[in-house]
Amino acid sequence: MPKKITFIGAGSTIFMKNIVGDALHYNALSDATIALMDIDQSRLDESELVAKKMIASMDVGATVETYTDQRAALTGADFVVVAFQIGGYKPCTVTDFEIPKQYGLRQTIADTLGIGGIMRGLRTVPHLWNICEDMRAVCPDALMLQYVNPMAINTWAIAARYPDIKQVGLCHSVQGTAAELAHDLGVDVDKLRYKVAGINHVAFFLELEERLADGSYADVYPRLFDGYRNGTYPRTTGANERCPNLVRYEMMKQLGYFVTESSEHFAEYVPWFIKSGRDDLIKRFQIPLDEYPTRCEEQIADWKSQAEAFKKADKIEVPKSHEYAATIMNAMSTNTPAVIYGNVANHGFIPQLPVGAAVEVPCLVDANGISPTVVDNIPPQLIALMRSNVNVQELTVAALLTQDREHIYHAAMMDPHTAAELDLDQIRAMVDDLLAQHGDWLPEWARTQVAA
């Protein structure tokens, strides 16, 4: 029987194209019903056009349905792909950058940790919970493939309130970083073998080896250390000239292992790179402040031209992406085992981190679903860094679960970058300003300040 793949946030047309296009490459999914749902009818129409042209171009039997009603789109789904941004670039992301900047707190991406990640979590989790309620009602056995940031906060909050919902948080940072390292090393990424574990965006390559001509494997870390020391690495990948990998190589030098998320992201997860009065650090490590707003403006402009090109094209090329979603759907549908990196609630998978926290570990996927593996040998310096981020995630989730506004302040106080820049009074005032400005984008309990 054909599978039903529901895409919530299908107005993200390029991302929809990647995920749905990947699925159409698999025989078991090529006749699927693709249910596209979004609240923006114009973007939904664009995505419908692209999906139908992909199907025609590949000459497969999949069908497309569109919805603005979430529960209707979810009815009978086997897989639920979730990709949306509550509040959008404007007004909410702009607010997440501009108000902290008034307090002297500068950011680069602001979607995972820090005050931007906290605010995005407060906006996002209630809607993810709403999807879980609908899934319970109309597709209780479906798997949620969750691509929304802040990934760790979202995954933790879903598992804590809806433990019966099957879910996995998916990111492309592991496979993306492997490709970047292969580029620096001058080797084919398929020749790299690695083991990664941690939390989303702060996971580390615990093992990283190259397959040699004789079939044996060699540790490539000595080459990475030597290359950074002599200035050979990082090489510019061409993906974004503004964002070289200097922060990550420096962290590898200091901690001994390479982290999975980009330098522009990672710089705002720690207290060492973006500091008041230290523009020398910004220059030395080439940290692109306000990078996410810049990207948003570029992507909006790019999309207009791409949308016109798609409308005029008779056929659409459908190359495979490096996302995991279709691999998971195929593995579960055909019982063909696959290994992916997924974000799941921590039930002993990384014993050094708190139970329930969202951890990113290797997962076996087959007809039984997602089976995470245990990684219990992460070096203590890496665990310590992860815990500094987990503290913020845990307090944000606690605020959402208990509807306790005080925990929002606590989360901001514990954030490494925020705490390094602002005092307690500044942090509390900044949070108040953000909550007031976001208004109806937040749940009511977060908007209501209780008199002291």
The catalytic residues are: 172
Q: Is residue 139 a known part of a binding site?
A: no
Q: What is the DSSP string of 182-240?
A: HHHHTS-GGGEEEEEEEETTEEEEEEEEEE-TTS-EEE-HHHHHHHHHTT--SPP-SS-
Question: Half-sphere exposure of 62 toward its Cβ, with a 13 Å CA cutoff?
Answer: 33
What is the Cα–Cα distance from 360 to 170, expressed in whole angstroms? 9
Q: What contacts 399, CB < 8 A, 6 or more positions away? A: 122, 405, 406, 407, 408, 410, 411, 446
Q: Is residue 346 a known part of a binding site?
A: no
What is the Cα–Cα distance from 438 to 447, expressed in whole angstroms? 8
Q: Answer for the pair 253, 272: CB distance below 8 angstroms, yes or no.
A: no
What is the Cα–Cα distance from 173 to 189, expressed in whole angstroms? 14
Q: What contacts 12, CB < 8 A, 6 or more positions away? A: 47, 83, 84
Please give the angle made by the CA atoms of 209, 239 and 146, to the nearest 5 degrees.
75
Burial class (CB in 10 A: 0-12, 13-18, 19+), 372: buried
Which SS3 state, helix, strand or coil, does residue 76 take? coil
Kindly give the interhelix angle for 94-102 and 424-438, rounded to the nearest 10 degrees.
Answer: 150
Q: Is residue 171 a known part of a binding site?
A: yes
What is the Cα–Cα distance from 426 to 102, expressed in whole angstroms? 10
Q: What contacts 200, CB < 8 A, 6 or more positions away? A: 112, 151, 152, 155, 169, 171, 173, 343, 358, 360
Residue type, 115: I
Neighbours of 233 (CB within 10 A): 21
* Binding site per annotation, positions: 149, 171, 201
* Binding site per annotation, positions for substrate: 149
* Binding site per annotation, positions for Mn(2+): 171, 201
